[in-house]
Amino acid sequence: MEQNDAPILLGLRLQVTHGQITQAEHLIAAGLTDANLANLQEPRPGLLAEMPRGQRLPEHKLRETGATYCNALDDNDSSLAPFAPDCERHENGFVTAVPICPRPRQASASRRSRPTARDRSTARCSPTSRP
């Protein structure tokens, strides 16, 4: 979609009760650049990966976990939701949150650290962005 000859995104939610629209909400995202639109061309691989049966959580646990997300956003407190260490949030093509750059890890004989997807990615952290 376009507005004033520039691309926009439209998010629309309709609630239908007995065949009648009873609620409608919309969100328009404007100010999109080619870089933002590139983030919307295809889902990130992890979003399409199938979870092995033995590792799947029951539906009620997934709903419970999903419900924590809004509180974490609303309170600006990521500790309220179980975000993965390599979580990167995209909203309307904009990257709105990235993982904290990892600190160098020391090898420990008693504890093996498993690399996260972020460790294996080509993402770069600038020296000034380290915690």
**49 within a domain of the structure (yes/no):** yes
Residue 103: domain span: 33-129
pLDDT per residue over 24-74, tens digit each?
999 888 888 888 888 888 887 778 889 899 999 999 999 998 889 888 888
pLDDT per residue over 2-20, tens digit each?
888 888 888 899 999 999 9
76/9 Cα distance (integer angstroms): 24
13/123 Cα distance (integer angstroms): 34
**9 within a domain of the structure (yes/no):** no
**24 within a domain of the structure (yes/no):** no
**5 within a domain of the structure (yes/no):** no
Class of residue 6 by CB neighbours under 10 A (exposed 0-12, middle 13-18, buried 19+): exposed
**17 within a domain of the structure (yes/no):** no
**2 within a domain of the structure (yes/no):** no
Q: How many domains does the chain have?
A: 1
**13 within a domain of the structure (yes/no):** no
**54 within a domain of the structure (yes/no):** yes
